[in-house]
Structure 1
Amino acid sequence: MTTNTGAPDGAPPLGPPARAAARRGVPSARRVDHLAFTVPDLDRAIDFTVRVLGGELVYRLPSLAHDDDWMREHLDVHPRADTEIALVRLGPTTNLELFVYRSPDHRDVPPRPNDLGSVHFALRVTDVDSAVAALRERGPWHPYGPVRTVPEGLPGAGMRWVRVTTPWGMPLELRSVPGSLPYERQTSARRFLPGSTWHNGADGSGAAAALPGARGVDHLAWTVADLDEAERFFTEVLGAERLYRTTADLTDPESAAALGVPQGGTLHQVALRMGPTDNVELNCFHDSSGARRRWPRNSDVGGNHLALYVDHVDEAAAYLAAQPGCTVLGAPETIPQGPLAGDRWVYVRTGIGLYIEVVHMPDGSLPYERGTTARRRAADGERWWSR
């Protein structure tokens, strides 16, 4: 998603150069392991991400439920909630974890893009128009409006983008990116550019045909309440690197419609590089009418979390527990049996509302691999600051 993409001509010029990366971050972190969000119908979400987008279903886990307080302590949901989880590999770098919850108190109406905690992701494609045409053929999946181009004078000038609907109410953005961007004249920081390798369904992998020109996930994005606070958390606590900031005037009805938000107010955004293989965009809507001000719970439709792959889960959890506003949910656990036996993980609720998971997979293969050729994206050989 892009704030800058929707900004009209006459928007503010580029801001000052970004400060040098502080090289902080979660101890032993290697990369973003996965993005997770809660959907109302797991079958439809899998169908969309696999058949429509060209992802590959890696595994689907048995239902998870407990008759004690484990679900509340570890997932911050109702104790009697139960959940099913599937993991889809999207292109060369991204694991997408899909949840469906049955819970006595979950919210089943998805958040709007301007609601606090709303999340979306974008696919990088070489030709946005061709990708939209393919989505229509596999759908119908309707764009919010015409394809837009970021105008001159903005950090992302030349990017082309459009948002489309998904079965679970979250926007999906399609974006093409020129070879160089204006913000690069202001900083040595560079956004991650997905490569050219994507399963196309013709290699025997079982993956569906990717969208035309698909290169990978371009970015992950969240709506936050305080942009300065959220940027500080991502840069100083998680170790992200700022790329640029920009602003969009949403009093223009076409700009607001393109983002799927009410007309009026202003959108402020910061773009970040998150480890070796991911970009993040944080969005803050000022004067946005009727927006929800509560971050969705994990069991709510639209609930979400960001997982970091680390070498030492307990060390990473202790580091996050020491950060202002962060609460480790329960204690790190190792899955004893089943498809992911050996996976060690824990959730952390952060001061900005976002849930973070730190996770480490055992060396060697996981049990699920015995039943499929599909593989989740691993972190082998990667380090957080490798570029």
Structure 2
Amino acid sequence: MTVRPSRYSAVAITLHWLIAVAILSMIPVGWWMSDAITEPGSQALAYRVFQIHKSVGFLILALTVLRIVWRLTHPVPALPGAMKGWEQFAARATHLAFYALMLALPLTGWVYVSTGWAVATDTPLAVASSWFGLFAVPHLPFIEHASEAVRRATAWMAMGAHSKLAWAAIILVAMHVGAALKHQFLDRDGVLSHMIPILPHGEAAHAPAPEPTPAVRWAERLAGVAFVVVIGAAFGLAAKPAPTGQGEAVASAPAAAPAADAPVAPGTAAAWTVDQAASAIVFSGTHTGKAFTGGFEQWEAQIWFDPADLTGSKAVVTVQTGTARTGDATQEGSLSGGEWFDPTTYPTARFEATRFKALGGSRYEAAGTLRIKTTTIPVVLPFTFDEANGTATVAGKLELDRTALNLGMMSDAGGDWVSKAIGVEIKVKAARAG
């Protein structure tokens, strides 16, 4: 026979209050950001709050799994024997409903963000997920890779269920708190002391209720889980919009296989060997009104350049787009998405300069092409070139229009989230080869 403790364990108590505070704080935040995300004045803050909201949601999911494992492996205090049968049934069913709710709330949120669809604007919005910006959290692949129509419908259902489950949480919390106060101040049976150790045991704390039969246990489980499932499913289905087509984006064409780059024919000018440790390719812009800066960890350059032989000068730079880093896991995950660099399909970007022009002094201009994924555009890069003792220092800047490069156009064609203008800066240190 299992010996029942007089109180919950310290681990169970800690998990209970951590999850409770997290859920109760998330509900008003979720309501606020759902409205604020559509207002220009609060959009930037709402976006950042949304990322925190997702992170706390994943934390709740992890803590809930831990709590369920702990609950299944550790005995809990028995209910007072003075409780009526229906009260015992309701108490156990409510506890099970809480467990189901603590799983359903973050899971429906995970489903929603995996769709890459913004219900507030009824448009695509592919944003990666991360845990407090520290590491990426993958989206659910069976949703993320579904058709646009399926993702849109799923987004509306998931958000409908998610928001109404928040109301279910409020109802359950009100019932739970009301019952706890009744036990503490009317019945005086010490039930509340099970979860708040500083409270004294009640008079009836040592008169445990008999264990329910297996049939009753299954009925309690079904009642608790059914409450959450019915609430979520009913309101999720009711929230699905009619397929009017309004707000839907044009589906993107299937990805084309990346064409192989032509072999690089060397220029006749002097060849240079790049010092990768002292060189960098940096990009910058604004995201939700806030400036960001990033760079590529892996790239290589083949350079032939001589101010006295500009016609024989040439440069080819190949960038591993999957190594784009900004220091923010959410931004980095989004850059690796299909709307942006899509490095799984198109692992490299390529800049090739074939025409050089002197602008006076140490200033020059390189004209060529930039290819990202299947889009190639003409590019002119102004730069400075200074050489001393066989070592060259090169610095250049240009501005790219991500619209022309078809980057992020499904989710943010208007530049409401990410600036259309993206600055690129190169810093190269190189030595004459040979």
Structure 2 length as normaliser, TM-score? 0.20
Higher relative contact order (Cα pairs below 8 Å, separated by 6+ residues): 1
* Structure in which a larger fraction of residues adopt helix: 2
Structure number, greater radius of gyration: 2
* Structure in which a larger fraction of residues adopt strand: 1
Structure 1 length as normaliser, TM-score? 0.22
